[in-house]
Amino acid sequence: MVAKEPTAARDLGSRIRRRGLMLVLSSPSGAGKSTIARNLLESDSSGLELSVSVTTRPRRGSEIEGVHYHFRTMREFERLRDSDALLEWAEVHGNFYATPREPAELALAEGRDMLFDIDWQGAQQLKEKMRADIVSIFILPPSMKELKARLKRRAEDQESVIETRLKNARLEIEHWKEYDFVIVNDDLDRAFAEVRAIVAAERLRRDRRPGLFDFISGLLDEKTE
Ligand code: ADP
Ligand code: 5GP
């Protein structure tokens, strides 16, 4: 169970109109990004939504169509890509993954926050298109040994798939410098608290809060006698 945000966090300050933010989480496979993302989605009472990606990868036993991914054939994926329905796409570990364009653009236009669990290639593409709206976090494992142990413990992929993911981990980690924040996921509670702190601070950024103009002009007009 994850604690909900305190009610105070939703008081006056958070009612001031602001732009939505696009929270990008990336990590080598197995570092714990999906676990942190899930905790965040469950605990965030301010309505952070998950961008549900399209993928050609086979569905894992625990995954639900439309919740974790939109599972599609390669032919369907190509059709989406060719009709410009994808905001970004990439090949990762031999499968294709993409962010559907419409939900993300709508969320941004309506001032809702969205979470993107995507790799460094996707993060680069989103940054090129929407730099001002992106907050990116790279999650590292405490060690490569622990990364391997987590991939095995997750027990949702075949041995050969785990080997590919481990091999790719080093290449992915090389992209750490492209992110705004870097978190080492040693202790899950602490890593999660760090992600929440980043989200809370980013929501308060002045340039994300056009509503401050009205609020402050109201403050200055207010009579105290
Ligand atoms: P990713 O989405 O980065 O591929 P997951 O979130 O699926 O990784 O995590 C991989 C495995 O590691 C899961 O079994 C998860 O429960 C476990 N895990 C995540 N964070 C930690 C942590 N801080 N300590 C120990 N195990 C963890
Ligand atoms: P998994 O197969 O473990 O769910 O995901 C493998 C990798 O693909 C992870 O690094 C994940 O972040 C990335 N990924 C998932 N969805 C997308 C997406 O829509 N776009 C991109 N570029 N990467 C994605």
Alpha helical stretches, state H, the chain: 12-15, 33-43, 74-82, 101-109, 120-130, 144-154, 159-173, 188-203, 211-221
Confidence (pLDDT) at 9 = 47
Q: Is the CB of 32 under 6 A from ligand 1?
A: yes
Confidence (pLDDT) at 6 = 47
Q: Is the CB of 119 under 6 A from ligand 2?
A: yes
* Residue with CA nearest ligand 1 atom 20: 32
Confidence (pLDDT) at 111 = 84
Confidence (pLDDT) at 220 = 96
* Residue with CA nearest ligand 2 atom 18: 98
Confidence (pLDDT) at 21 = 93
d(Cα 44, Cα 54) in Å, to the nearest integer?
A: 24
The fold of 14-210 is: Rossmann fold (3.40.50)
pTM, full prediction: 0.92
* Residue with CA nearest ligand 1 atom 11: 150
Confidence (pLDDT) at 11 = 63
- Residue 70: exposed, middle, or buried by beta-carbon count in 10 A (0-12, 13-18, 19+)? middle
- Ligand nearest to C-alpha 139: 1
- Ligand nearest to C-alpha 68: 2
Q: Which of 97, 102, 128, 138 should be mutated for ligand 2, with most atoms under 8 A from CB?
A: 97
> In a structure prediction context, what are the per-residue pLDDT tens digits for the chain, which is 225 residues long?
454 544 444 567 777 888 889 999 999 999 999 999 999 999 876 679 999 999 999 999 999 999 999 999 999 999 999 999 999 999 998 999 999 999 999 998 888 999 999 999 999 999 999 999 999 999 999 999 999 999 988 877 788 888 888 999 999 999 999 999 999 999 999 999 999 999 999 999 999 899 999 999 999 999 998
Q: Is the CB of 93 under 6 A from ligand 1?
A: no
